[in-house]
């Protein structure tokens, strides 16, 4: 059996759909699964009594996490991402489970790093990144207690996008596909992204290989697109012709500050801000050579974008099953 913790969310829903054909699956989540309620047990990793794992479990995939930017109080990041992980490890020891796959994040590297690989120093800038790194340290300690018999895979994905996800990539695609988009800056800054179909394929691949040892992988679909290349993909898929005028970076930031003031005065969260302009114009790339040397992604980045555009904007689905993230 493959036991998934946190499988009712975006990645987990795709993962169960991929695994259920050949594997016996059990999902533990504090929320009911919109697609697989018959495979789901309601529980919380903060409650040790909910982690009553059976001896028939051969592998455990830990997806559960507090990850949004606006979690309050911030202690929840450490309660769920660190203490919750330690609770899972303790339960795994009791059940004799030796194979763990854990989804971490490139947030452990911090901001404005130059294409960091898995050996890059950890420098998280927010509570989410710090809590994920502390969880990794707990897993490393757990592994080193019995390294000859355990299999650990830690996946550090960049921003994940795909059908039904309402995160930052969706918001960007929506803005561009609306036809009312104008580039801020020169558009040569590159963005590492990961299509959900490739993330779940990687998890499935690691489950099948079940290699002993401690394995850490960044994940991003390659090659990275520049903002101009991303716009071109969307134009081609949706038969759009967007204006080629570019707003200078300084002018975009000035407009962002204006929206900051408006948001402060109205006490409303607006879709445009100086922080969003800065993020839009920044280069955020992560080295994923290691994973792509041992794993062949089933979808190219362009194919993942096209599948998302098809589902969300060309032939939009109206079943209201959506997943919200940053």
Q: Are 181 and 321 in contact (CB under 8 A)?
A: no
Q: Is residue 255 situated within a structural domain?
A: no
Q: Is residue 94 situated within a structural domain?
A: yes
| Token pair in block for residue 144 | 């080193």
Question: What pLDDT shows up at residue 69?
Answer: 65
Q: Is residue 277 situated within a structural domain?
A: no
Catalytic option among 77, 128, 143, 170: 128
pTM of the prediction?
0.93
Count CB-CB contacts under 10 A for residue 213.
Answer: 11
Residue 143 known to be catalytic:
no
DSSP 160-181: EE-TTEESHHHHHHHHHHTT--
Instruction: Per residue of the chain (326 residues), give pLDDT as tens.
Output: 999 999 999 999 999 999 999 999 999 999 999 999 999 999 999 999 999 999 999 999 999 998 776 667 888 889 999 999 999 999 999 999 999 999 999 999 998 899 999 999 999 988 999 999 999 999 999 999 999 999 999 999 999 999 999 988 998 899 888 888 889 999 999 999 999 999 999 999 999 999 999 999 999 999 999 999 999 999 999 998 888 889 999 999 999 999 999 999 999 888 788 988 988 898 999 999 999 999 999 999 999 999 999 999 999 987 789 998 75
Q: Is residue 43 situated within a structural domain?
A: yes
Question: What pLDDT shows up at residue 60?
Answer: 98
Identify the bridge partners of residue 247 per DSSP, sorted by sequence position.
Answer: 184
From residue 169, how far is each of 23, 49, 202, 282, 326 by CA, in Å? 31, 37, 21, 14, 9
Question: What pLDDT shows up at residue 271?
Answer: 75
Nearest CA-CA partner of 113 in 282, 270, 250: 282
| Token pair in block for residue 140 | 């490393």
Q: Is residue 195 situated within a structural domain?
A: yes
Q: Is residue 64 situated within a structural domain?
A: yes
Question: What pLDDT shows up at residue 326?
Answer: 59
Question: What pLDDT shows up at residue 319?
Answer: 78
Q: How many domains does the chain have?
A: 1
CATH of the domain at 89: 3.40.50.720
Q: Are 273 and 263 in contact (CB under 8 A)?
A: yes
Nearest CA-CA partner of 153 in 88, 209, 196: 209
Q: Is residue 251 situated within a structural domain?
A: no
Enclosing domain of residue 290: 2-171+189-221+286-296
Q: Is residue 11 situated within a structural domain?
A: yes
């Amino acid at each position: 059996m493959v036991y998934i913790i946190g499988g009712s969310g975006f990645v987990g829903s795709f993962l169960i759909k991929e695994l259920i054909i050949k594997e016996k699956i059990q999902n533990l989540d504090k929320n009911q699964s919109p697609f697989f309620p018959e495979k789901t047990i309601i529980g919380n990793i903060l409650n040790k009594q909910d982690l009553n794992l059976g001896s028939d479990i051969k592998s455990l995939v830990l997806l559960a996490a507090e990850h949004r930017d606006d979690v309050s109080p911030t202690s929840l990041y450490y309660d769920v991402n660190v203490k919750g992980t330690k609770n899972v490890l303790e339960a795994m020891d009791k059940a004799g489970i030796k194979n763990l796959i854990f989804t971490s994040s490139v947030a452990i590297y911090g901001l404005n790093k130059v294409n960091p690989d898995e050996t890059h120093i950890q420098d998280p800038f927010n509570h989410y990144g710090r809590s994920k790194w502390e969880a990794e340290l707990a897993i490393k300690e757990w592994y080193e207690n019995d390294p000859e018999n355990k299999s650990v895979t830690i996946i550090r994905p960049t921003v994940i996008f795909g059908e039904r996800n309402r995160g930052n990539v969706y918001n960007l695609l929506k803005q561009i596909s609306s036809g009312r988009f104008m580039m801020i800056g020169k558009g040569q800054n590159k963005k590492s992204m990961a299509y959900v179909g490739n993330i779940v394929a990687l998890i499935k691949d690691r489950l099948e290989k079940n290699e002993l040892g401690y394995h850490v992988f960044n994940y991003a679909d390659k090659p990275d697109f520049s903002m101009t290349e991303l716009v071109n993909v969307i134009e081609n898929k949706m038969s759009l012709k967007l204006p080629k005028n570019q707003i200078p970076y300084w002018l975009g930031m000035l407009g962002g500050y204006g929206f900051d003031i408006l948001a402060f005065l109205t006490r409303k969260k607006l879709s445009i801000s100086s922080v969003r302009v800065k993020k839009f114009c920044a280069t955020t790339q992560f080295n994923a050579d290691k994973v792509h040397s041992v794993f062949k992604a089933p979808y190219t980045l362009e194919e993942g974008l096209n599948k998302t555009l098809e589902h969300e904007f060309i032939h939009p689905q109206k079943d209201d099953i959506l997943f919200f993230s940053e």
